[in-house]
Each structure stands twice: as C-alpha cells, then as structure tokens.
Amino acid sequence: MATITNPILPGFNPDPSICRVGDDYYIATSTFEWYPGVQIHHSKDLADWELVSRPLSRASQLDMRGDPDSCGVWAPDITHDGERFWLVYTDVKRKDGSFKDAHNYIVTAESIEGPWSDPIYVNSSGFDPSLFHDDDGRKWFVNMMWDHRTRPLKFAGIALQEFDPKAGKLVGPRTNIYQGTDLKLVEGPHIYKRNGWYYLLTAEGGTAYDHACTFARSRTIDGQYETHPDKHVLTSKDAPFAAIQRAGHGDLVETPDGKTYLVHLGGRPTTQERRCVLGRETSIQEAYWGEDDWLYVKNGPVPSLKVEVPGTRDDSKYWAEQRYTFENGLPKDFQWLRTPETERIFTTEGGKLRLFGRESIGSWFEQALVARRQTHFSYDAETVIDFSPTDERQFAGLTAYYSRYNFFYLTVTAHSDGQRELLIMSSEISWPDGNLNFPAEPVQIPNQGKVKLALQIRGKSLQFFYALEGQDLQPIGPVLDASILSDECGGHQAHGSFTGAFVGVAASDLNGTALNADFDYFTYRPQRHESDRYEI
C-alpha cells in the first residue's frame, strides 16, 4: 500500500465508472463533444493509470455533428458480466431549455481494446444510464428520468427496467425506484448487491459546488429504496475550503482482497473566483462497510486529497515534457470535435499534422481543431505552422480552448489586401452572443515561411509568443486571463458546462476552399509554479 495524491485522472475526466476483471481495473469517463467517444483507462493497482481505449470511434456508433457544447457523450457505464464488457452511454443532442434529447445506447466487446459492437438503442427517457448484472442472470437498466413539465421535478427519479440481451431491448414494467433526497437533482445511478441488499449509488445536487454521492438500499431490486442514515457518503458542499470541490457522481469497486474504493469526480478550484480550469477530474477514496451494512467513506464525507491504494505511482511521468510528432499517426493524447469523418479535417500522411480549413472555431458541425487536455495548472505549449492564407477568412494557429464561447487563439491569417499577419482572437464569457475580442493589434509577417507559435500558462495568466524562422520567441499581445477556460465560465456556468481546458491547433477556411495548414510537431511542457495549489 502507498499514499497517492488525488486526482488519479487529472484534467477533464468526469463521471467515472469503474469495473474490475481479475487483476485489471478499468475506468470509463465522459468525453462530451470530443471525438472519439468515452475514455477508458486501465490500471493494475489503482495508482498508475493508462489510456487504453476510446471505443466509440466510427459513425455507426457516434456522430455528434450539431451537438451543442457540453452535449454529446455523457456518463458512460462500464461493466463485465463474466463473458464480455458492456458499455452504456448517452448521446445528448439538446440540453438547454425544458427538453433533453438524450439517447441511450449499449455497445459490447470481448476485449477492452475492441472491436466494439454497433450500438443497441435503448431509450431516451433521461440520461446517466447504467447496467446491472444480477446473480440470477437477469440484466437491469437504470437511468435518471427527465420531466420537461417539472411536475413536480425535472429530475424525476431513477427508472429501473429489465434489459433482454437476446432481444436487444427493454422488457417488462418500468419502475421509478428512487426520487432522491431534499438535495434534489438525482442522477448517475449504479446498482450493487451485497449481503442480500440491493444498493443504489446516485449523484445529487447538480455537478457544481453542491454535488454529492447519495446512497440507498432495498431488499428487492425494484425498491422502494431507503436512504443512507447520513444521506450523502461523499460531498464537499459543506466544506468550501476542501482541496477537492464539486465531489460526486461515483462508482464502487472491490479489490481482490476485499477492500472497497469509491471513484468520483471532483474539481480543484485555483483562483479566488473558484474556477476549475482542469475541469472535473477523477479521484479515488477508500471506503468500508459498517456493521449496519451501510457503506462509509474513510475520513468522509469530505473527499481526501491523500489516499492509500494498493499500488504506487511514478509522478515523474506526469511531469515529463511531451513532444508529439506525427510519423505514426495522431498521438493518443489528442482528440477532435464531433465528427467521425476525420479525413475531412486532418491527415498525418507525410509525418506532419495537416489540418484542412473548414468552419470557424467554435462550430458545432465541422471544424478542424485537434487538441489535448490541459492536465497541469501551469504549462508551455509550442508548435510550428506552415500556412499561406490569402485573406481574413483563412486563419490557423495555436489555441487554448474550452468551448465556442471561451477560447484564446493565436492565428496566422491575412488582411483583405493579402498581407499575412498574426492576429489574436478571443472569446471571453461572451455567451450567448459569441462575439470575438481582439486583445492586440495584428503583427505583419512575411507572406512566406514557417512561424513558431507558443503559449505560456502560469496559473491564471496566459501569454502568447511567436518567432519567425531563425529568430527567438517574443511575446505578442497582453497577458490574458486563462481562468475563463473553465466550467464556471463556459457559457452556461458550472451547472451547464461540463468539459475542461484543451490546448491544440486549429484551421478555418471560410472561403470554402479547405486551405491546409501544416504543423511540424506539438510540445506540451508541464511547469511547477508557486500559484498552483493542490498540484500532484
């Protein structure tokens, strides 16, 4: 056993679902509008985790073109029934207003690496679905139910219905088994069975600073379920100075030697304004079963920053510089937005990353933007671009990105007279209008030649840099407020913005000619900085 520092999956990795198969642990997390869908990490010891699969990787499984920001893939659930993996997920097509168009699917695979099956459509009555495999061989599907009438609640309770795997559909009656507590907004259900009890773990309070894990149990699977005597087994809602805030939406796993752990999401606000730039991350807590057959979190309900787990973690990997090249395709740390038709937005043929300019940055349909998660509070990023725009409707470059409403973007573009220039574009808490800001005057550059683009983030401060061939980097533009790249500023604030900050490259051609931009490499260099609290 060794003590590690939470989180175990730093950066945007929310809504964790965990399962163990023999000595192998797997965590599935939400990816929202980022493609391919769902991240699955693997560990042998609950300490060291490696990304091993993004299973929703083709159009028949997932096509998110048109999905708004923070829609797409919500709260996957991963289980194993002794024969195969079952992955349940939601593709949300609308979340604002009275309606939620939330379509729930199941895919399966014999190996975590795949191939994963085409999806089985299940229902659209709500989101956060999961699948429970009972010891009598029956399978039960649970999800929160959404009531657009708000009569009496929009979060109307947890629906339970049997799933017939041979027929590939729900069968029998649907039962509302649990309506939650006075904290409301009940969601994220997972069912377990132990000592003749059925246990129901849910999330409540919304995914911002009142978030919580709520526990309940029943002697029969269809309830009704009685709530834990403490109501919430994990929450930071009454501990505003705890290192891990927004704690909730969890799942349980048991080690081979009988220890119980709870994985859950949480955020680490680092500014006075309580902004979580790294998004909702995955942490782990040790739990135990009391003599009353109720689960308790060790030292809970407030989540611990330091936790004892069976293995050890080499934190030097977390702090290592990542220099990405493209000779062997797109590195696994990178994702793009929404579309399964990758050949229309990028290629790595020739050993470079070539983006084909498509729609504007922030488009919900087809934009060429390839990026990786920000996983440190402070870091440097750098790339070299070869791009020859002819007017202002063609632009490409380096971006620190949260959503269409929140980004900073250093572009190589041209004025209407064809003169190439560097231009910083930003969108800062401008929802719902999405208007651009231009925080600095453009800088003219020669019409030919590669340009090095870089950015430096130190806590909440962001500075862009550039260099022409043969020259040293020099700053461009003012110091910008990087803390707006957070759920709390993501257009809908913390209850409606669900991802995290990314850094990467993008290209747009609003003339419709798909002008290409070539990138030689991409470097992500973590930095330690005195302003960064609770860094691993």
Q: For residue 391, what are the CA distances in angstroms to 192, 222, 412, 417? A: 60, 63, 11, 7
231: its two tokens = 């109501």
Report which of 425, 467, 421, 412 is spatially closest to residue 444, judged by C-alpha positions. 421
Going by the DSSP 8-state scheme, the letter that residue 45 receives in this structure is S
Whether 79 contacts 53, CB under 8 Å: no
**What is the rounded distance in angstroms from the CA atom of residue 364 to the CA atom of residue 18?**
30
Angle at 312 between CA 310 and CA 314, to 5 degrees: 160
The residues facing 384 across adjacent strands are 452
Report which of 375, 344, 271, 262 is spatially closest to residue 514, judged by C-alpha positions. 344
Report which of 8, 18, 24, 52 is spatially closest to residue 312, judged by C-alpha positions. 8
What is the end-to-end Cα distance of the chain in Å, rounded? 18
Pick the catalytic residue: 359, 366, 392, 535? 366
Going by the DSSP 8-state scheme, the letter that residue 53 receives in this structure is E
Whether 36 contacts 64, CB under 8 Å: no
Q: For residue 517, what are the CA distances in angstroms to 202, 354, 394? A: 46, 6, 10
Query: Letter for the amino acid at 445?
Result: I
Beta strand 353-356 with 368-373 is: unpaired
Based on the residue annotation, tell me whether 366 is a catalytic residue of this protein. Answer: yes
Question: Which residues are within 8 A (CB) of 361 and not within 5 positions of it... i.e. 6 or more apart?
Answer: 367, 369, 399, 401, 404, 407, 409, 425, 506, 508
Which residues carry out catalysis? 366
